[in-house]
Chains A and B, each alone.
Chain A
Amino acid sequence: MSGYRLSAGGTLVDPATRLSFRFDDKAYQGLAGDSLASALLAGGVSLFGRSFKYHRRRGLFAAGPEEPNALVELRGGARREPNLKAPVVELYDGLEAWSQNRWPSLTFDLMAVNGLLDKLFVAGFYYKTFKWPSSFWEKLYEPLIRRAAGLGRLSGEPDPDSYETATAHADLLVVGSGPAGLLAARTAARAGRRVILVERDARLGGSLLTTRRTIDGQPGAAWAAAVEAELAAAPHVRILRRTTVFGTYDGGQFGALERVADHLPVPPPHCPRQRAWTLVAGEAIVAAGAIERPIVFPGNDLPGVMLAGALRHYAVGYGAAAGRAVTLFTANDSGWHAAADLIASGVTVAAVIDPRADVAPALTAAVAAGSGRALAGARLRRALGGKALEAIDVDLPGGGSDRIATDALGVSGNWQPDIQLATHRGDRPVWSDAHAAFTAGKLPPGIRLAGAAAGTFRLADIFAAGGTEAAVDLEGAALTPFWHVGGSKGAGKAFVDFQHDVTDADVALAAREGYVSVEHLKRYTTLGMATDQGRTANLNGLAILAELTGRTIPQTGITTMRPPVEPVAIGALAGHHRAMAFRPRRLPPIHMVAVEREAQMIEVGPWWRAQWFPLPHETDWQQSVDREVTTVRKAVGVCDMSTLGKIEVFGPDAAAFLTRLCANSVMKLAVGRCAYFLMLREDGYAYDDGTVARLGPERFVMTCSTAHAAKVYEQVEYARQVLFPEMDVVVQSATEQWAQLALAGPRARDVLARIVDPGFDLSGAAFPPVACAETTVLGGVRARLFRLTFSGELAFEIAVPARRGADLMRRLLIAGQDFGIVPYGTEAVGAMRIEKGHPVGSEINGQTSAHMLGLGAFAERKHDCIGRVLAARPYLTDPARGRLVGLKPVDRAARLRAGAHLLPKGPDATAAHDQGWITSVAHSPTLGCWIGLGFLAHGDKRHAEIVRAYDPVRGGDVEVEVVAPCFVDPEGNRARA
């Protein structure tokens, strides 16, 4: 194979603009408009890559994304991208690409020795070879396979480019801008409809650009340009170039990937590399064309063997000839038209071989006029060559055979309409004998096919359906199904799937071993499972399987086609949603105070919360958190609780409604009082906890955990609207409307007194524990006060309208200055709640029951509430399942870790002796050691016992003392101060 540039040039390239590029570190020159494949072909390159399994030498095969062989790594450094198909990589000046799957170099590949071991690498070789002993798998087999396999390498660095997502709507989406697509878009645009026309390549025109067809006497490309100009000028028409529609989804939605800057060395500033579109269209016309099917014969993977349409594509479009003496092997008219176009482009065609005896004389005459041999009724027996194709053996029509020297062979079995987008929603393709291909059966609503995708191959027929043009190139489309030239001994391998090295013999072996279902064939041989998804391989594999099992192709079936049609980078689907923009970050009302105080921030659910507030001299987070805890316990601190979910409940049935929702009775709650509540799921497990405050006879506000806020609100609405619609009650989420601060510590009342407006009595008698009231603070700011404590200290929660939250925080910090007030973050909150034994998400994790939490009495109620019945099941109440306990290391200097298992002292550390686990730990500055909470079988009866906290993952094995879950002030005297 010795490709070169034709003097006639091509429709897509500009001979005046030369581009320099490198392939495998060697310098080449191409033309503006070239693809990487066409430039390498014209530059005389024949070896493009190595196959996956046998590391065989492979050349360029196709002209589009169906390319199985010419895979490259593109760009260096952090932008390196593997597995790109050379035919769809647009050339730019300075492009750098490398071949893949070879070691140490493309021309000398040591792994090619695999080819000598082909008896080992037959169908199902993974299943057969690497079966036993199992101990070999991890140490030997897997590393071996990993080294041998793998197509291309990722950069391993963060992608420096940006990606975005976008949505567009239209009356009509047209996929493909070949003749059928352009006609459809033009008709709709003239009718004033909103049209989106999507083209995979940089230019509109499809096959018109790379074949020598005429429309009304002008070249097809000129006609396409005229239609493009009309569409560009039409209102309501959007043209997306370099865009692949990769999937059809529900509701008229389509996924598409626009390669915005892939044809440039580096995207311009503020320009994304790729854009993932959601296209929503009332109707869609899929004119995606057809994919040429090759024929399987011995030696068919030699570099130089290509699809006939690809030879034509490169010659007409790019002026790139694949060889000096080209031959074609075709079983349909398109191969002859390819030969005629090649001759007209200045390529020497040595012979056209066609098993059909009755080829139209007009077709053979064009080849003979170009002094090529027109061999109708002949058969190619095999291809021969060393490093590349050198000759073919042909059985001649009258008997006898001939060896014809050739360096490029174009193959065409026939054309498979590209119907993928019509089948993504589950509609099965149907076999068409007339096309020898699968065509769309029942179409999903709103989707139609046009042109070659609909099985309409003749240009004249396409125009008859949608055009007004008078004279359209007449082109034949006759065919005879022809799949496979069987190999004789020594003839060489005949490949079905090039990229995965699946041969006709592999298909036969699979059939012999009983893998006669097409889905089994695929998985057993890996046929069609490579990056090209077997676009040029699947149908041949199917036909050979059908032949071997004596069935027809429709009886044999077809594998399901799923999106995406072509590989789509996850980064493109993510768009801007990465790193800090991964999801929207919600900032609580006091955020600016946290920023001013240089708080360490942490993500809690959707919120960005202050984790701790370091002072300048503090070097370690533990110092800061210990100081915050100690200050709260000894003086006073203030903490933002605004992110807790807040749900307001109103109405005559509000109390009865909450009693159904909560495991404890809210019905009896007095006005002006709060209560702790536990919510169960209907299956009896604990769901969430919080507090509920009765602000009036028919007015409640409940808080729930930050992480569960949205889900709990949804559940409350479900209860109101679906479960108990007869109740007269209204609920409203108020999480965002109120800022809520906790003021805690022995001096909390003294600080609060300085900001509460005069007239409100904060004394213990007037405002005792669990009291709540509505009042004003800071001179007329509406406020709700709750005497609730999470830290166990004398504490108040103050809620003000959200916009006043930061102001309240600043004013409290000023008011408490002479008491030594500190702001404290989530870590200190966590440490203090463990000191007090309050369960949170680590304990209420969806697997724990009220009984395990020590709240069994809550669930044992007479009146109806969600979860009451199933919470009584023995498994949920069994003390052997664990009870909440506190844990202290026997060696007070030892560290505890959450996740450690609890085991009795003595027996082996095995699962059989597992008695529980540690759920949360914290360093307690109050006790001066690490403490933890956990669940331990019969734990409530085992206080003072010593058990093991066993943590094999992190190498921990610590003796711990079982204590009551409350470590600090178990009598609750401080809270009552």
Chain B
Amino acid sequence: MLITCPFCGLRDAAEFTYRGDAAPVRPAADAGEAAFFDYVYLRDNPAGPIREHWFHRAGCHGWVTVTRDTRTHAIESVVPVEATVAAEAVVAAEAAVAVEAEGGAR
């Protein structure tokens, strides 16, 4: 398997360490035990595309988000985790703007 590191280019998967599903987001410190329990233990197991965290251990030491199809191992995209975080922020901001706009229209 080959992974295109956004920093280093096309590399053998053996250079990377797999961590797991990128979807769970660490809860706020005061979110309580149930929220942390879900964060630590509950995972979806999709047959299809999944976003995962991989570490480029034998390369740039960057954590990257790999979108991989669990049925074929085909990799759709590899982006730095910062970009993921930023993209989520953009999505959230856009949603907020949309809600605001909707509220304004109402």
Contact = CB atoms under 8 A, between A and B. Distances in A.
A544 to B, nearest CB: 33
Q: From A718, A733, A868, name the one whose CB has the most chain B CB atoms within 10 angstroms.
A: A718
Contacts of B57: 710, 714
Interface in A869-896: 869-870, 872-873
A300 to B, nearest CB: 41
B36 A682 contact: yes
Given A718-B63, A722-B63, A426 B72 contact: yes
Nearest to B55: A714
Contacts of A426: 71-72
Contact of A251 (B1, B33, B62): B1
A729 to B, nearest CB: 14
A577 to B, nearest CB: 13
A348 B69 CA distance: 59
Interface residues of A, number: 25
B4 to A, nearest CB: 11
B2 interface: yes
B40 A725 contact: no
B82 interface: yes
B19 A718 contact: yes
B32 A721 contact: no
B62 to A, nearest CB: 7
A706 B62 CA distance: 22
B85 interface: yes
A869 B33 contact: yes
A725 B82 contact: yes
B32 A869 contact: yes
Contacts of A252: 2
Interface in B46-90: 53, 55, 57, 61-63, 71-73, 81-82, 85
B59 to A, nearest CB: 12
Contacts of B82: 721, 725
How extensive is the interface on chain B, given as a class? 20 to 34
Contact of B33 (A249, A717, A723, A872): A872
Contact of A682 (B19, B39, B81): B39
Contacts, number: 57
A562 to B, nearest CB: 15
B46 to A, nearest CB: 16
Contacts of B43: none
B61 to A, nearest CB: 6
Nearest to B22: A722
Interface in A409-457: 425-426
A648 to B, nearest CB: 13
Contacts of B19: 718
Given A714-B55, A717-B61, A718-B63, A869 B85 contact: no
A683 interface: yes
B2 to A, nearest CB: 4
A761 interface: no
B44 to A, nearest CB: 18
Interface string A685-727: 0000000000000000000000000100010011001110100
Interface string A846-888: 0000000000000000011000111011000000000000000
| Nearest 9 A/B pairs, CB to CB | A864-B29, A251-B2, A250-B1, A869-B36, A721-B63, A250-B73, A251-B1, A683-B40, A722-B81
Nearest to B61: A717
Given A250-B73, A426-B72, A872-B33, A717 B55 contact: yes
